[in-house]
Amino acid sequence: MSKQFDVIVIGAGPGGYIAAIRAAQLGFKVACIDEWKNDKGGPAPGGTCTNVGCIPSKALLQSSEHFDQASHHFAEHGIGVKGLSMDVSTMVARKDLVVKQNNDGILYLFKKNKVSFFHGRGSFAKAVEGGYEILVTGAATESLTGKQVIVATGSRARALPGTPFDEESILSNDGALRIGAVPKKLGLIGSGVIGLEMGSVWRRLGAEVTILEGLPTFLGAVDEQIAKEAHKAFIKQGLKIELGVKVGAIKTGKKGVSIAYENAKGEAQTLDVDKLIISIGRLANTEGLNAEAVGLKLDERGLVVVDDDCRTNLPGVWAVGDVVRGPMLAHKAEEEGVAVAERIAGQHGHVNFNTVPWVIYTSPEIAWVGQTEQQLKAAGRAYKAGTFPFLANGRARALGDTTGMVKFLADAATDEILGVHIVGPMASELIAEAVVAMEFRASSEDIARICHAHPSLSEATKEAALAVDKRSLNF
Ligand code: FAD
Ligand code: NAI
């Protein structure tokens, strides 16, 4: 007997579990299926984000930042530390605990909202009258029937052709979060978000880190001025970043990993490291879905094809998060999950892609929302720019962290904020003000006229807004 549901969600990452909760809040009978296993074989809902992504990476970034502060910055506060040490296994165990707390939190939320959770792989069996039959293959096989199905199966790391991940020497994001001791030499391929965050963790703990990047520009999607400032800071910290390389043969042996590559000048080089993290983007998880059984349309990269509202080619089947077009970000997945649940309920769920913030949790942090200066130039849009350095911000001086700046881009005629870009301390938190402002289509003058607490880093945001009109007060 197939169990009947109004809504079946496949995948319990941030897209799926949030969609399930919102659908349950709206009065639907909801099932959520997820196959992720913890180290005891039990369920571990939360997807990539909770298990091997956002949460564990931020836990390790925090631990390594504490170590870096104690190693290099406590002394200037008059704090002496003798015999400072780093126990990587304790750091990793703490990270695992943080992950488990999040897994348990989601199971609790499912219970609270009466979402039925199924542990196993969900796949399409067939279309049935008024919905779809979904099989759950776990400890046993179960049949569920749903009037509506939300696919939220997420993504996995992309390997380099011919170099599969062994998670011992050649690591994806999964292995990168489970390294048991600080490697003497660590290599990374790809200086994108994972490359910079993971490279920072192990550099702070003492590894010699080299990142090989295929493109000639550093962080090409980031505002150029901000990317330059960040690059300068990373190089100063000791990260080695080689741009414009062509990676060749990768060999693993007893001594580690050897990477042959051509540098930007076309010279043959070899990089020998103890471990290699490959962070060159991610692929959609669609193989396990049996999409063919119902004719669910995928594109040439394996992404589920959806319209602006996350509708697939099949009536009553939706898809959200990393498995569809758009940025691979947890908060984007969540917003799509909420919007789809609301659309199923006949409401008008909406996601504004222009105000999805990005954050790179390095030190300094990089955060932005809206358009970059290079995008505005390419579009021929007339704009004004204003910047304010943290060097001139009292709170940043007191913190001892004055790297970076806040940058505003506003329409030349209307003054509407078109983009805000930050590199510096707590950029991840500061960007929220810019997101709110852009959602309300505020002008830079609106921010400039708002009273900001003193002393606070947010005053740099106000000052950058003032700088759009060339009237910043403290610089
Ligand atoms: P996922 O989180 O990938 O979840 C999909 C779930 O579906 C998984 O549990 C998977 O096991 C399950 N699944 C797949 N197929 C099936 C099936 N057939 N049946 C049952 N279950 C299935 N984003 C941010 O916004 N901020 C960050 O700081 C951040 N840091 C990151 C750090 C790293 C190292 C990585 C790798 C990613 C990071 N991301 C971050 C990206 C973020 O993790 C993803 O954008 C987000 O997890 C996508 O959510 P999702 O629900 O679409 O998919
Ligand atoms: P990415 O797309 O951010 O970066 C990949 C980098 O690898 C690019 O710079 C690309 O030019 C380079 N590259 C690709 N192929 C290459 C090759 N053959 N040789 C050398 N360089 C090559 O992807 P990444 O870092 O794997 O992260 C995946 C996604 O996960 C991110 O795009 C982001 O959506 C998400 N993420 C988000 C985080 C956050 O929000 N803080 C943190 C980590 C990941």
Pick the closest to residue 32 from 49, 42, 47, 50 (CA basis): 47
For 240-257, write each residue's pLDDT tens digit. 999 999 999 999 998 899
d(CA 69, CA 62): 10
CA of 158 from ligand 2 middle (Å) equals 10
- State the Cα angle at 204 between 201 and 209, rounded to 5°: 75
How does DSSP assign 133-163, residue by residue? Answer: EEEEESSSEEEEEEEEEEE---EEEPPBTTB
Q: Which of 117, 153, 429 to mutate for ligand 1's pocket (most ligand atoms within 8 Å of CB)? A: 153
How does DSSP assign 396-441, residue by residue? Answer: HHHHT----EEEEEEETTT-BEEEEEEEETTHHHHHHHHHHHHHTT
Across the 475 residues of the chain, what is the mean pLDDT of every consecutive 10-residue run? 96 98 98 97 98 98 98 96 96 98 98 98 97 96 98 98 96 96 98 97 97 98 98 97 98 95 98 98 97 98 97 98 98 98 97 97 98 98 98 97 98 98 98 98 98 98 98 96
Does the C-beta of 45 come closer than 6 Å to ligand 2?
Answer: no
Q: What is the pLDDT of residue 1?
A: 87
d(CA 278, CA 175): 10
- Write down the mean pLDDT value for the chain: 97
Does the C-beta of 47 come closer than 6 Å to ligand 1?
Answer: yes
What burial class does residue 396 get, using C-beta atoms within 10 Å of its C-beta: 0-12 exposed, 13-18 middle, 19+ buried?
buried
3-state SS assignment for residue 306: coil
CA of 419 from ligand 2 middle (Å) equals 22
Q: What residues contact 91, with CB distance under 8 A and at least 6 apart?
A: 60, 63, 64
In this structure, what token pair is assigned to residue 469? 């009109």
Does the C-beta of 36 come closer than 6 Å to ligand 1?
Answer: yes
d(CA 227, CA 225): 6
In this structure, what token pair is assigned to residue 430? 């500061």
Considering the candidates 66, 72, 350, 454, report the single residue annotated as catalytic: 454
Specify the ligand 2 atom closest to the Cα of 220: 9
Q: Evaluate the CA torsion angle 222, 226, 228, 232 in order and state its sign.
A: negative
Which residue owns the Cα nearest ligand 1 atom 40? 54
3-state SS assignment for residue 260: strand
Residues of the chain with CATH 3.30.390.30: 355-468
Q: What is the pLDDT of residue 271?
A: 98
Ligand nearest to the CA of 50: 1
Which fold is adopted by the domain 170-280? FAD/NAD(P)-binding domain (3.50.50)
For 7-66, write each residue's pLDDT tens digit. 999 999 999 999 999 999 999 999 999 999 999 999 999 999 999 999 999 999 999 999
Ligand nearest to the CA of 193: 2
Which residue owns the Cα nearest ligand 1 atom 43? 49
> 454 catalytic, yes or no?
yes
Specify the ligand 1 atom closest to the Cα of 157: 36
H/E element, 357:
none
Any bridge partners for residue 126, and if so which? 133
Superfamily of domain 355-468: FAD/NAD-linked reductase, C-terminal dimerisation domain (3.30.390.30)
Which residue owns the Cα nearest ligand 2 atom 12? 190
Pick the closest to residue 316 from 155, 152, 151, 142 (CA basis): 151
Specify the ligand 2 atom closest to the Cα of 194: 25
Ligand nearest to the CA of 123: 1
Residues of the chain with CATH 3.50.50.60: 3-157+283-351, 170-280
Just give the CATH number of 3-157+283-351.
Answer: 3.50.50.60
For 346-390, write each residue's pLDDT tens digit. 999 999 999 999 999 999 999 999 999 999 999 999 999 999 999
